[in-house]
Structure 1
């Protein structure tokens, strides 16, 4: 008689989905916004995406080759990191800065700490902050949409103000934003100056909904983050509903909500912890946007809550059934 009773260590429930499948789904979700950025920023966007992805994949391959480790570039995580970094920089960023940022993300933030699943903060956002501290002029030289047409050979940015630059002044900045010719529709579809990832908030939302429908992420973190920013912007903005709505579609809020905050490694494990995590990120984002020295607070807020995740997990644990009270 065959022994049907098999004892093994956890996990007892396994999934056929591996890292490469998850990363492919993330790439698919980002593709509509990536294609839209090519329409608005032309060859500059293609240049940035190519060199960011190349730098990430090459850095991971060379690091593991030198350290005599098994190559993991086939799981597409480096591709996702490079693409997300490209979404977090201006379309005018020089190619060598793209390579440097990708190398920092992969080697310093990811591989040194043990590779995928061991990084303590989002590698793409850490690289963005590194580039912003190292090359502040290049990282804030926003390219005006529709300027660099196919065939252009220049990577020089045309100076233009981003919507967040106007919203930094609070509700009073709405008038200047209207006068600049930037409408809410422009912000939703992505026809505004800024980072590549500020292209089409609508398509980023659609990409996020796609990931939720596939079970790659859940709705808790994006919804609580977006709601926190909206409510706090409404209150601190003098109960101006238009100001709060503009805040939602400005900058990299939607990119951060669906593609950055939801990173498995750097987000809490429990629903209770995820709510705390998302609300804290929303508070920090809004405070930086309205009172900080830099117009965009999404990237800094996400990195800050990333490092809080172990503490949140410690105090937001689920109750263990069968536990004997002390």
Structure 2
């Protein structure tokens, strides 16, 4: 049997944008399922609303620019932006805030700069920060995780709350909501409680807050899938997690009763989602290998600084946007040496 000879270049697969975005969506499934289990149907409702609004705005802008909308919609970048936004916001976020967030992300942050590949900031995180600064109460009202909520909301109750802003009859927010682990840790430390006292609460698990720790594990598994599939490289997520770990470990060793453990920081809030799915955005992150290490480590350090001394408990979005600004400069100073252009030996 004669084997066919195929000429070079030998490319095993094509890394098209739509394929990469589809793989990212697949990797998000474990986190979506775990978050839905712990925080209810509101998450899935927000995802559907966000995707619908994102596709709508993408279509309108492309038509206004005189370009075929299908070309932009096929790459799935608007869908990924919408899903990441929905995973970051409260599962009770009113529908009109999701609409406003997607307008900000797609029209102002993405398309206003020329579309995919030209936006300097991560659209999902820019929309998140915009809404957090403008509507802090709605953005920080989180449901109590499964097992702690006095009245878990059904699908129809979640739908009425998001679309109409009405809680079930006879219920108050205290019966369905609770502070996030980062909020609770921050507040109780300010009241003078020690770490040992804080973690005695039934809201705490093995690694962090009950429910939240398993969300972090799920996104970690999704990130591992992206690494195995070579959708992302290890440089940004590993350096970000190491930067956060190093900073938190230093202060935890110095004052273990007033500074949470590194594991708490790693498995609370949006740490794992940010490390593997947000900071690794190929458009707004650094492109050189050395630059990616600096980029990721800086995000981890900024996250710890803001969480410990800033005005917001979870700082992933702020840290990513700050480093998006610095990414071009970091790339400029971390360019690899071109072969044949090294310094001459004397």
TM-score > 0.5 by shorter chain: yes
Q: How many residues are aligned here?
A: 310
2:310 equivalent in structure 1: 292
Q: How does 1:212-223 map to 2 (within 5 A)?
A: 212-223=227-238
8 Å Cα contact 2:144/2:178 also seen in 1 = yes
User: How big is the shift at 1:80?
Assistant: 0.3
User: How big is the shift at 1:149?
Assistant: 2.6
User: How big is the shift at 1:201?
Assistant: 0.7
8 Å Cα contact 2:94/2:161 also seen in 1 = no
2:161 equivalent in structure 1: 154
8 Å Cα contact 2:42/2:155 also seen in 1 = no
State the TM-score, normalizing by the size of structure 2.
Answer: 0.83
8 Å Cα contact 1:101/1:128 also seen in 2 = yes
Of 7, 10, 19, 2:17 maps to 19
2:51 equivalent in structure 1: 53
Q: Distance in 2 between the 1:49 and 1:313 partners? A: 34
1:308 equivalent in structure 2: 326
8 Å Cα contact 1:187/1:201 also seen in 2 = no
- SS of the equivalent of 2:47 reads helix
8 Å Cα contact 1:164/1:250 also seen in 2 = yes
1:8 equivalent in structure 2: none
Please identify, of 272-281 and 143-152, the stretch whose mean Cα deviation from structure 2 is larger.
Answer: 143-152
User: How big is the shift at 1:186?
Assistant: 7.3
1:317 equivalent in structure 2: 335
1:39 equivalent in structure 2: 37
Of 218, 231, 250, 2:268 maps to 250
Q: Distance in 1 between the 2:208 and 2:156 partners? A: 26
1:163 equivalent in structure 2: 181
User: How big is the shift at 1:154?
Assistant: 3.1
- SS of the equivalent of 1:275 reads helix
Larger radius of gyration: 2
Describe the superposition over 1:11-66 as per-residue Cα deviations: whole angstroms up to 9, x where unpaired.
99795221110000000000111122222222211221111111111110111012
1:144 equivalent in structure 2: 144
8 Å Cα contact 1:166/1:176 also seen in 2 = no
- SS of the equivalent of 2:30 reads helix
Q: Any unmatched runs of 5+ in structure 2?
A: 1-8, 147-151, 168-172
Describe the superposition over 1:120-141 as per-residue Cα deviations: whole angstroms up to 9, x where unpaired.
0110000000111121110111
Q: Any unmatched runs of 5+ in structure 1?
A: 1-10, 193-197
User: How big is the shift at 1:150?
Assistant: 3.5
**Superposition RMSD in Å:** 2.4
1:99 equivalent in structure 2: 99
1:181 equivalent in structure 2: 202
User: CA, structure 1 residues 145+266, in 2 after alignment: closer, same or farther (shift >3 Å)?
Assistant: same
User: How big is the shift at 1:296?
Assistant: 1.1
State the TM-score, normalizing by the size of structure 1.
Answer: 0.88
Q: Distance in 2 between the 1:238 and 1:49 partners? A: 40
Describe the superposition over 1:255-280 as per-residue Cα deviations: whole angstroms up to 9, x where unpaired.
00000110101111111111111111
8 Å Cα contact 1:56/1:103 also seen in 2 = yes
User: CA, structure 1 residues 66+317, in 2 after alignment: closer, same or farther (shift >3 Å)?
Assistant: same
User: CA, structure 1 residues 97+162, in 2 after alignment: closer, same or farther (shift >3 Å)?
Assistant: same
2:211 equivalent in structure 1: 191
Describe the superposition over 1:102-123 as per-residue Cα deviations: whole angstroms up to 9, x where unpaired.
1110111101111111110110
8 Å Cα contact 2:252/2:260 also seen in 1 = no
8 Å Cα contact 1:228/1:279 also seen in 2 = yes
Describe the superposition over 1:135-161 as per-residue Cα deviations: whole angstroms up to 9, x where unpaired.
111011111123213342434553311
1:269 aligns with 2:287: yes
1:278 equivalent in structure 2: 296
Describe the superposition over 1:212-244 as per-residue Cα deviations: whole angstroms up to 9, x where unpaired.
111100111111111111111111234449622
